[in-house]
Structure 1
Amino acid sequence: MNKLEIEVNGLDELSSAAAQILDFAAGERIFILRAEMGGGKTTLIKELARELGVTEVVSSPTFSIVNEYDAQGEPVYHFDFYRIKDIREAYDIGYEEYFYSGHVCFVEWPEKIESLLPEHYVEISIVVLSDTARLLRLSKI
């Protein structure tokens, strides 16, 4: 199965959705999230990280570009490329070391670094249905 849709009708359904996403990923380590501003990318990443065992506060790395969290002794990387002005900034932070580390990477605003994305990843497109409802469209690339 290379595609899956999950409808989420409120924050109380996010934990179940995160578990379904990780089950769907079946070992894939790179997750790219596409959504409009305020569409819920960071909120979903918080739940995915929790599901992986992250207990610390998960927040958007808008200014630092990447945050690292601990998931039961394994690093989890969270990228936000919204503010980069030039693809060289991704090179400057050493994106390859993260993307090819074998550790989980969550990527917000992947369209800013499209040419640098690995060959395989899970794409999550978030469609805003209402203030509280989202449609998550997953694809294995």
Structure 2
Amino acid sequence: MEFIYNEGELPNVAKQIVTHSKSKILAFYAPMGAGKTTLIKSLVKELGSSDTVSSPTFGLVNEYALETGELLGFHFDFYRLNDESEAMDIGLDDYLSSNGWIFMEWPEKIPNLLPTDIQNITIEIIDETTRKLILSK
């Protein structure tokens, strides 16, 4: 499934991803500045959270909750990892088994740790304001 969109269309794109995703584990493949975190903000809102979403570049993981206080999920940014073992050191396995939504930026840094039941999302930059998103297995 593919979408061509701009930032104003993100709420609809998020709704489509939630509806059509084959998994609650989402792996975002995109270059720097393509809008991964911005899209994740829309997804978190679509899923019922009003938490502030920011890239967990330095902390590696952020946790988000629903309005009820229940766990929504976790947001990872693996950009700064030097080795896959660093993801294991923060307890990646425990997060993946949480049954919450998982949003992974830079999953290509941990290829051997990615579960098989994952939804790959590729974002391509078309121009300054337009992106192409591809949902693939």
Per the TM superposition, whether the score is higher than 0.5 is: yes
Map 1:27-38 to 2 at 5 A.
Answer: 28-38=23-33
Once the two structures are superposed, what CA deviation does each residue of 1:12-54 show, in whole Å capped at 9, x if it has no partner?
100000000110115x210000000111110100100110111
Aligned counterpart for 1:110 among listed residues 107, 112, 120: 107
- CA RMSD, 1 decimal: 1.0
Mark the runs of 5 or more structure 2 residues left unpaired by the alignment. Answer: none
Q: Is the 8 A contact 2:49 2:72 kept in 1?
A: no
Aligned residues: 135
Segments ≥4 residues shifted beyond 6 Å: none
Percent same amino acid at aligned positions?
46
Aligned counterpart for 1:85 among listed residues 75, 79, 82: 82
Partner amino acid, structure 2, of 1:135 = K
Aligned counterpart for 2:57 among listed residues 59, 62, 76: 62
Mark the runs of 5 or more structure 1 residues left unpaired by the alignment. Answer: none
Partner amino acid, structure 1, of 2:14 = A
SS in 2 for 1:68: strand
Report the Cα distance in structure 1 between the residues aligned to 2:111 and 2:40, rounded to whole angstroms. Answer: 20
SS in 2 for 1:116: coil
SS in 2 for 1:125: strand
Report what 1:23 is aligned to: 19
After superposing the two structures, state which structure 1 stretch, 68-77 or 120-129, moved more.
Answer: 68-77
Aligned counterpart for 1:135 among listed residues 117, 132, 136: 132
Partner amino acid, structure 1, of 2:94 = E
TM-score (normalised: structure 1): 0.92
